[in-house]
Amino acid sequence: MKNIFKKLALGLLVATSVVNFANAKDIEVENAAGKQIVPQNPQKVVVLDFAALDVIRELDEKSTIVGTVKGKIPAYLNEFHDAKYADMGTSPDPAFEKINELNPDLIIASPRQKRLIERLKGIAPVFMLENDFAHFYPSFQANILAIGKIFNKEEQAKQKLDALDKRMSALAEKTKGKTALVALVNESRISAFGDQSRYAMVYQNFGFTPIDRALSASIHGNSVGFEYVVEKNPDYLLIIDRTAAVTDKVNNAQQVLNNAIINKTQAAQNNHIVYLNAANWYLAFGGLASMDAMVTEIENAVK
């Protein structure tokens, strides 16, 4: 009888090992960060980026998330405030001890944790999200397809990207011939973004003509003043309020830009200063749902 139990126990152990091995199959994915080896079908995932939270939820895999960064979670992702998702600190300052305690199968990180990547790899395999801002949309697609492959949801990821592509093509027809300037307002400072920047898709995919092709590709934008905006005088001013995104201060950008100089612009006079949702354009920039919402915002602006 004892031998029978031993055989059963051994069989169960082997079966369990086979299942675990299957779940832990390593695959290669590729994005702007390069080729990365990660486990497929991870069952316990720690997410250190809001855009990744967005994508995993859109691919119906949020049940795999055991912990995430909290801080100022965008309102549309509020469900991740729930205590069943362990608090992993903030994006710039993740809680390493808590991550280690969860013993995750995979950690999904972003450039905000790049300096910490080796420490994270000491805990579990890491998939690094990355964007090539000069070619943002292709790098965005690569991120989505990589996450789709990790969770064995490639077809679903492709379908969602195809739907976005169709919407953006239709949007580009509406914006054809219209000039725009994307500007980020941080307290009282203004940064302009051109067609080689983190917001390049506004020009490359949404169809606006950049008002200034000389803007550099700086990730933080080009510092400009009110007079610059008047001089360039775009048809549309697309404004991202960073202060509102990272603090509880609301309508900061409106207060900064409501002045006699900016009010001279055709964008102001034609009611074409568009205050974009900072959660979509800054906090969860690069998510599937956030990108879909961004397209909707621009569609509504150019009706």
pLDDT at 5 over 80: no
pLDDT at 27 over 70: yes
Q: What percent of the chain has pLDDT over 70?
A: 92
Which of residues 18 and 183 earns the better pLDDT score? 183
pLDDT computed for residue 296 by the predictor: 97
Q: pLDDT confidence of 9, banded at 50, 70, 90?
A: very low
Instruction: Map residue 106 onto helix, strand or coil.
Output: strand
| HSE-up (13 A, CA, CB side) for residue 191 | 19
Which of residues 8 and 246 earns the better pLDDT score? 246
Q: Which residues contact 139 (CB under 8 A, 6 or more apart)?
A: 31, 32, 130, 131, 132, 133
Q: What is the mean pLDDT of residues 224-247?
A: 97
Q: What is the mean pLDDT of residues 5-11?
A: 42
Q: Calculate Rg over the CA atoms of the chain.
A: 22
Count the Cβ atoms, other than its own, within 10 Å of residue 163: 12
Enter the pTM of the model.
0.88
Domains of the chain as residue ranges with CATH: 27-152 (3.40.50.1980), 163-301 (3.40.50.1980)
Render pLDDT for 265-288 as a digit per residue (tens, 0 to 9).
999 999 999 999 999 999 999 999
Q: What is the mean pLDDT of residues 180-192?
A: 98
pLDDT computed for residue 24 by the predictor: 58
pLDDT at 20 over 80: no
